[in-house]
Amino acid sequence: MPPDLSTEEVSRIAKLSRLSLTPDELQLFSRQLAGILGYVEQLQALDTTDVPPTSHPLALTSPLREDDLRPSLPREDAVGAAPEPDQEAGFFKVPRVIGG
């Protein structure tokens, strides 16, 4: 049986996901996430002993390149789309992280 998700459990997942939820959302998601987990429970019926996992459809080797300087996005463009850019300093502004 799927684990029944308590609102405490959903709160814990929401915290890990960096999402603030309303009380209504907490209720809705605990029901819906339990429903989805109930559906995917069917996978447990399959014997996957010794089956290697596939993380990617291609057999990839990481492409490498010379570590040389190439043209890249101008800093003003990279900073320009931010909600609180500081174009003069070339920074993204965020709430205080240390101290305060």
Size of the site for another protein (CB under 8 A): 52
Question: Contact 28/52 with Cβ under 8 angstroms?
Answer: no
Rule CB under 8 A: choose which of 4, 8, 27, 39 binds another protein: 39
CB of 73 to another protein, least distance (A): 6
Among 1, 69, 73, 89, binds another protein (CB under 8 A): 73
* 95 lies in the binding site for another protein (CB under 8 A): yes
Rounded Cα distance between 85 and 97, Å, is 17
8 binds another protein, rule: CB under 8 A:
no
Of 11, 48, 5, 53, the closest CA to residue 30 belongs to 5
Q: Residue 92 in 3-state DSSP?
A: strand
Rg (alpha carbons) of the chain, rounded to whole number:
23
Cβ–Cβ under 8 Å, residues 26 and 7: yes
Which residues here bind another protein, judged by CB under 8 A? Answer: 10, 13-21, 25, 28-29, 32-33, 35-37, 39-40, 42-44, 46, 48, 51-58, 60, 62-63, 65, 73-74, 77-78, 80-84, 92, 94-97, 100
